[in-house]
């Protein structure tokens, strides 16, 4: 984003903030941006507000993963420790990205180049980067083995390796196997082909989504009756609102083309609600009803017939079972039915998991995720290991908004551990999801482990607003680049 673009965006934010009677600073705070507002506003308060007290603590720190979580952590450690000894293990040359922007790429609002950054450009001064992957973990000996065969020792380990897209779990996509947000996408693109199947969860396939969406819209514009379906799997996923965002953008583009009446859009979700927070669930249902978006609960995608453009779902429901005389109550039996759904356009949110090399190691867990204390982010077994981001076993925490809170807590606690002090910093579960509801509208869903809205300012958090669109499209990306990746915001 150029300086002129940023200045224009700030003017738009100022104008919209004025309409609802708040300042730019209050708008940023409301959007969960905090000190990033100062960074972009050019005031000296940013430094005073974000730089922690320097620590004389010493130790060899190894960070697995050079994405947003890993690099933000490295940056904050590098500026907080007086003599940092930090190494980041990352195989990709473009590991750092504004992942929240993949939805905007898929909707034709961003270009792919807008959200991918060179890893080396965001490597903090004094931090060593090794272009490789960790393949073995020996936490009892404080050692990690790399793909090259090299063994590295550490005093403290930070695991920020992200998440794996488990496309191979879906019958018909076995050849794709495990995939990732960045990196080689050739297997996914080959499998999807020109079938109308898409996914925003990889940067290349997000770009392909926009191509397929335009073809879908053109069919509707030509008078064909078409069907678009959108899925949400049975596993935890990064950004639980994303499947609804791309559905809403598809709706917006159809309306823009004057072809909405010729398209049925339907959401198939494994769960029994739209959102884990009731107030946002209720608001989304109303939005769906107004936009004539359909939905089916308790439908999990299990297979796809690419050639015949048919999706298969496991539909489930509960029925009353036999009476238990000891418990004096009826048991519940879960029933299943396979449902076939034809489609012209399909967005798949794949099942997700921790990378097997970590999940199945000594630092993993039975469920795969790295087991940490959800408040301190310290490993439950190994006290010199910490984890954050998508791979950490933290409830409701797989978003960039969560990472922005987590990495500061992790750094504070890691330094406390290095100094032999009690870990006092606590992550409270705060998450922010700028839920795109239309082109030009965003509902800013803020919440924490209480599963209640936690708005940063006294405005109705369930209301769609243009100002949140401006923040989502124009402000969050530079906040990520110049705020989080500097270790400040």
Residues labelled catalytic: 239, 433
Q: Which H/E stretch holds residue 179?
A: strand 178-179
Q: What sign does the CA torsion over 449, 454, 456, 461 have?
A: positive
The three-class DSSP label of residue 425 is coil
Q: Give the span between the Cα atoms of 241 and 349, in whole angstroms.
A: 11
| Cβ count near 381 (within 10 Å) | 13
Instruction: Label the pairing between strands 156-159 and 299-305.
Output: unpaired
Q: Give the span between the Cα atoms of 436 and 243, in whole angstroms.
A: 10
Tokens representing residue 359 in the block: 């999940």
Q: Is the backbone of residue 429 left (phi > 0), alpha (psi -120 to 50) or beta?
A: left
Q: Give the span between the Cα atoms of 98 and 480, in whole angstroms.
A: 7
Query: CA 6: distance to chain centroid?
Result: 24
- List, in sequence order, every beta strand (DSSP E) within 250-309: 263-269, 294-296, 299-305
The three-class DSSP label of residue 49 is helix
Q: Give the span between the Cα atoms of 442 and 172, in whole angstroms.
A: 35
């Amino acid at each position: 984003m150029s300086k002129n673009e940023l200045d224009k965006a700030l003017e738009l934010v100022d104008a919209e903030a004025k309409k609802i009677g708040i300042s730019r600073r209050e708008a940023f705070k409301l959007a969960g941006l905090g000190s990033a507002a100062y960074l972009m506003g050019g005031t000296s308060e940013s430094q005073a507000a974000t730089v922690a007290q320097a620590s004389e603590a010493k130790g060899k720190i190894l960070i697995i993963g050079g994405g947003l979580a890993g690099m933000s952590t490295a940056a904050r450690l590098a500026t907080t420790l007086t003599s940092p000894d930090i190494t980041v293990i990352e195989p990709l040359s473009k590991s750092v990205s504004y992942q929240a922007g993949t939805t905007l790429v898929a909707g034709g609002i961003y270009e792919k180049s807008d959200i991918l950054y060179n890893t080396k450009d965001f490597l903090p001064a004094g931090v060593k980067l090794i272009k490789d992957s960790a393949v073995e973990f020996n936490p009892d000996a404080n050692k990690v083995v790399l793909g090259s065969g090299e063994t590295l020792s550490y005093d403290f380990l930070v695991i920020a390796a992200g998440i794996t897209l488990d496309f191979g779990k879906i019958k018909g996509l076995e050849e794709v196997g495990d995939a990732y947000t960045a990196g080689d996408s050739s297997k996914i693109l080959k499998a999807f082909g020109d079938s109308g199947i898409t996914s925003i969860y990889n940067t290349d396939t997000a770009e392909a989504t926009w191509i397929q969406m335009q073809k879908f819209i053109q069919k509707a514009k030509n008078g064909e009756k078409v069907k678009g379906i959108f899925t949400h799997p049975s596993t935890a996923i990064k950004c639980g609102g994303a499947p609804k965002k791309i559905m809403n953008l598809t709706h917006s583009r159809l309306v823009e083309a004057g072809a909405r009446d010729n398209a049925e859009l339907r959401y198939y979700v494994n769960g029994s609600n739209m959102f884990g927070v009731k107030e946002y669930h209720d608001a989304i249902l109303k939005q769906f009803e107004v936009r004539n978006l359909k939905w089916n609960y308790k439908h999990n995608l299990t297979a796809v017939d690419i050639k015949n453009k048919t999706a298969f779902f496991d539909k489930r429901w509960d029925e009353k079972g036999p009476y238990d005389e000891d418990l004096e109550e009826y048991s519940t039996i879960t029933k299943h039915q396979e449902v076939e759904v034809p489609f012209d356009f399909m967005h798949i949110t794949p099942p997700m998991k921790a990378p097997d090399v970590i999940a199945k190691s000594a630092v993993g867990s039975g469920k795969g995720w790295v087991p940490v204390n959800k408040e301190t982010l310290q490993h439950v077994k190994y006290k010199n290991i910490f984890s954050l981001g998508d791979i950490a076993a933290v409830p409701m925490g797989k978003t960039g908004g969560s990472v922005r809170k987590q990495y500061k807590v992790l750094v504070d606690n890691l330094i406390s551990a290095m100094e032999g002090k009690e870990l006092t910093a606590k992550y409270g579960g705060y998450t922010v999801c700028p839920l795109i509801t239309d082109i030009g509208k965003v509902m800013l869903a803020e919440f924490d482990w209480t599963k209640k809205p936690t708005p940063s300012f006294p405005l109705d958090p369930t209301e769609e607003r243009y100002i949140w669109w401006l923040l989502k499209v124009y402000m969050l990306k530079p906040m990520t680049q110049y705020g989080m990746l500097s270790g400040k915001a």
